[in-house]
């Protein structure tokens, strides 16, 4: 049988502190989000609408495509995993649906994951703040470009849409997150900084 006390001694203190903080933040986030913020008018809806409007703006102004519009819709929509989403942002091209953006696709979970890692790592307050702000902005732009890429694929190369939606663009978003974390973590010296 595994002896927890000896296992605890084998794990260095900075790692135990990081894991403890991460678990605590995860529990706090899930309680707050599930209890008060899920599908809210204050967090999910504005973020989803922002992603749809920014994607539409890029499509209409920075490429050879035009006549895209976005609307917030109350509809029954079966999302991956069977979750019913009652309100979504829809992007239309010539009055035909191009892409649905559900609240689960607005990037919020990636933002929270990213911020949680930064908060749990030892560093100065201002360095954490800088990386949180710049990282969120970068991840938001990547998520918007993901939606633009999905629409482009649906319009011109629909055969690749499902693969890109389920695998390729998720890999891009998480790889970008890991790269930013890597830049943040490279200047951390566990012996010289408080946790």
pTM of the model: 0.82
Percent above pLDDT 70 for the chain: 85
The mean pLDDT value for 58-81 works out to 78
Residue 90: strand pairing partners: 71, 100
Is pLDDT at 134 greater than 80 in this prediction? yes
Query: Distance (Å, rounded) from C-alpha 184 to C-alpha 168?
Result: 25
| The token pair that represents 79 in the structure block | 């999302």
**Each residue of 82-112: pLDDT tens digit?**
555 567 899 999 989 999 998 888 999 999 9
Contact 89, 72 (CB under 8 A): yes
Per domain, the residue ranges of the chain are 17-185
- HSE, side-chain direction, 13 A CA sphere, residue 138: 18
Is pLDDT at 75 greater than 90 in this prediction? no
């Amino acid at each position: 049988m595994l002896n927890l006390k000896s296992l605890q001694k084998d794990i260095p203190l900075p790692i135990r502190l990081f894991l403890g903080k991460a678990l605590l933040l995860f529990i706090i986030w899930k309680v707050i989000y599930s209890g008060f913020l899920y599908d809210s008018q204050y967090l999910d809806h504005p973020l989803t609408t922002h992603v749809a409007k920014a994607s539409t703006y890029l499509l209409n102004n920075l490429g050879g495509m035009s006549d895209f519009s976005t609307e917030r819709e109350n509809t029954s929509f079966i999302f991956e995993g069977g979750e019913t989403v009652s309100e979504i942002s829809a992007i239309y091209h010539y009055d035909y649906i191009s892409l649905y953006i559900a609240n689960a696709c607005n990037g919020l979970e990636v933002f929270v994951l990213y911020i949680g890692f930064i908060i749990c790592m030892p560093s100065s307050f201002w360095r954490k703040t800088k990386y949180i702000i710049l990282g969120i902005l970068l991840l938001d732009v990547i998520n918007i470009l993901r939606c633009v890429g999905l629409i482009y694929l649906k319009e011109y190369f629909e055969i690749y849409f499902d693969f890109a939606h389920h695998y390729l663009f998720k890999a891009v978003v998480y790889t970008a997150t890991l790269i930013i974390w890597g830049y943040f973590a490279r200047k951390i010296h566990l012996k010289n900084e408080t946790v």
